[in-house]
Amino acid sequence: MTSKELEHLLASKTNEFRLNNKDKLVEPSKFANQIGSTQLENIPYVKQLEIKKEALLSLFKNIVQEDILSDFDIISSPKITEYRFKAEFVASFNPKFEPINRLGQRKKGNFNWVIDLDEYILIDKAIFNKIRRVYDYSLSLGLNSYDLKKQIGDLRYLTVKHYQDQSMLIITSYNKDKRFNEVIDFAIKQGFNSVYWLVNNSLHDSFEGKISKFEGQEYLKINIHFNNKIFMFLAGPFTFFQNNIFGFQKLLEYIDSILIKFNTAQLNLYDLYCGVGVLGISLANKFKSVKGIEIVQDSIDLAIQNQKLNKINNADFKCFDIKNLVLPKDTDSVTIVDPPRTGLEDKGVSNVLDISSKYVIYVSCNPITLAYDIQKLSNQYKIIDLKAFDMFPQTYHIECLCILERY
């Protein structure tokens, strides 16, 4: 099954439910049918979980042994709205249609058309209102949004990172107009802990760019509650962090419940694709040592800082490209991988097989590449547990956790 086939399966099941259960549909937000990021808004949450579970069972039925599938389940998210840590909002200029300046999400099926939003259910409502006020203030200064076709304008993106009392606003502009200094001051007054101004004058359509200025905190300070402890992690403007921290804490607790059975005190942990070190640091006290590997230097820099913040003495984080890495064999170990949507790819699989750990913990944001990778690992490993975690309510996206044991 391909990614498109999985999405088509999810879409067909949800459309079938809509057609046959009109009296059971949930009232969606007013933009639900216009934007593509909240496809399941009018489906009751229990049904969303059921549809996702059925689709995953179809995906894994010829790959995973029957006894594992009989125990397969999907764990719900503690929050089904206002759960996202990061959200990007496009600033778009189109003089042919009112409003000529828009801030929002791209129209479903039309990349060049931006829906002007005054609400967005996946992030904290109060934070969205602050973002909207910052945008309206920038317009009041005479700044325009960006025309993607003509490649002219001032403001390209407003991106937010937010969890609990911590919030970062990232302003991405096309130019270095001095009026953005006033926008930054206004954003700080709105209560953002951190405000970054990035400049992107390239053809690449992205919120990322060169840092022109920042005010407030350099990093957000994110608290993760786990094992009756509070771990603090720094998150920056460019580094990856879990997008549903509420759901991630449930996944972390589940991993912990599995590790308890493994008696890992004398084992090493290899944390591949470690990001800013959240998994490795949270689990470090269960292992003899932790070795974290990540391709992004900014993430490794924060991982090292996070290690110090949490007083972890048995971890070592290094920046390497997995594709150029040769790892030693270490049978007295556990390997945990949390790769991007592309999965492990051939070299990542090769690295896992080379280490030859007793157990492999595979955290996946893409069930399709997970299914592909576990087949390539099957000569050396058998699956002993498989669960889904609904990290992305209202969407087709699904997180999976697969535990493998060496034969």
Q: What is the tens place of the pLDDT at every residue in 380-401? A: 999 999 999 999 999 999 999 9
**Residue 324 CB contacts under 8 Å (≥ 6 apart), including other chains:** none
Q: What is the DSSP letter of 171?
A: E
The residues near 111 (Cβ < 8 Å, ≥ 6 apart) are none
Residue 297 pLDDT: 94
Residue 92: closest CA among 141, 152, 29: 152
Q: How many CB atoms lie within 10 A of CB 189?
A: 11
Whether the Cβ atoms of residue 387 and residue 361 lie closer than 8 Å to each other: no
Judged against a pLDDT cut of 90, whether residue 109 lies above it is answered with no
Which CATH number does 86-217 carry?
2.40.50.1070
Give the single-character DSSP code of 126: H
> Which of the four pLDDT bands, split at 50, 70 and 90, describes residue 115?
very high
Q: Are 406 and 368 in contact (CB under 8 A)?
A: no
* pLDDT, mean over the chain: 94
- Spatial separation of the C-alpha atoms in residues 293 and 328, rounded to whole Å: 13
User: For residue range 185-198, what is the model confidence (pLDDT) as tens digits?
Assistant: 999 999 999 999 99
**3-state DSSP assignment of residue 186:** helix
Peptide linkage before 99 cis (omega within 30 of 0) = yes
Q: Give the range with max mean pLDDT: 106-115, 180-189, 199-208.
A: 180-189
**For residue 216, what pLDDT is reported?**
96
- pLDDT value for 45: 97
pLDDT band at 89 (very low <50, low <70, confident <90, very high): very high
Give the model's pLDDT for residue 110: 87
Contact yes or no for 35/108 (Cβ under 8 A): yes
Place of tokens 């409502």: 125
- Number of helices (H), then strands (E), belonging to the chain: the values are 10, 17
pLDDT in tens, 259-272: 999 989 999 999 99
Nearest Cα to 391, choosing from 47, 83, 55, 44? 83
Average pLDDT over residues 241-247: 94
CA–CA distance, 264 with 277 (Å, rounded to integer): 19
What's the pLDDT score for residue 2?
A: 87
Per-residue confidence (pLDDT) for residue 33, from 0 to 100? 85
What is the band of 322 on the pLDDT scale with cuts at 50, 70, 90?
confident
Residue 30 CB neighbour total at 10 angstroms: 10
Q: What pLDDT score was predicted for residue 136?
A: 97
Residue 147 three-state SS: strand
Task: Kindly tell me if the per-residue pLDDT of 323 is higher than 90.
Answer: no
| The predicted structure's pLDDT at residue 36 | 86
What average pLDDT does range 147-167 have in this prediction?
94
Where in the chain are the domains?
86-217
- The pLDDT assigned to 277 comes to 95
With beta carbons less than 8 A apart as the criterion, state whether 130 and 191 touch: yes
Say if residues 292 and 338 touch (Cβ distance below 8 Å). Answer: no
Q: Is residue 93 helix, strand or coil?
A: strand
Q: Taking 90 as the threshold, does the pLDDT of residue 112 lie above it?
A: no
